[in-house]
Amino acid sequence: MDEKLPTSSVAQQLAEAVWAIDHVPTALAPGSFTRFRSEAKSAAVHSSAFRVSTQCAGVIVLRRTRPDLPRPYRTPLVPLVPLLGIVVCATMMYSLGPENWWRLVVWLAIGLAIYFGYSHKHSKIRRPV
């Protein structure tokens, strides 16, 4: 339970749900969810590597296009460190195979549709003054 909030935080609830998905079915029927767990872990690694590689690319782009932005942390040896991060993540993503690429594309499309659908409807810029 989050001590600052009367109810548990969304992140804590999500972590508990992931734990339950990972552990409860295995305890109930050992071996039956092995493939599901393996695929879910591969998808999580793939999406995390994609996210980190886009962050690395963002560091390079923002250092070139917006050098005046305040930076609460410093990345050493730019652009070498972000480029190495992109290469390592791309290598991990490549090794996971085409099935995970399709999952990434489908979930990315779903996420983008939700993001742009919500932002289009709730945009403060589009509201009349």
DSSP 33-88: THHHHHHHHHHHHHHHHHHHHHHHHHHHHHHHH-TTS--SS--TTTTHHHHHHHHH
Whole-model pTM: value is 0.63
CA angle 88, 90, 93 (to 5 degrees): 110
Q: What is the pLDDT of residues 32-46, one digit of tens each?
A: 556 666 777 777 888
Residue 11 has pLDDT above 80, yes or no: no
pLDDT in tens, 55-111: 999 999 999 999 999 888 888 898 999 999 999 999 988 888 888 888 889 888 998
pLDDT classification of 5: cutoffs 50, 70, 90: very low
Q: Residue 122 is encoded by which pair of tokens?
A: 């709730």
The predicted structure's pLDDT at residue 125: 80
Quote the pLDDT of residue 80: 95
> Rounded to whole angstroms, how far apart are CA atoms 59 and 56?
5
pLDDT at 2: 45
Q: Where are the domains of the chain?
A: 1-32, 33-121
Place of tokens 């250092």: 63
Locate tokens 């609460």: which residue? Answer: 72
pLDDT tens digits for range 19-36: 565 555 555 555 555 666
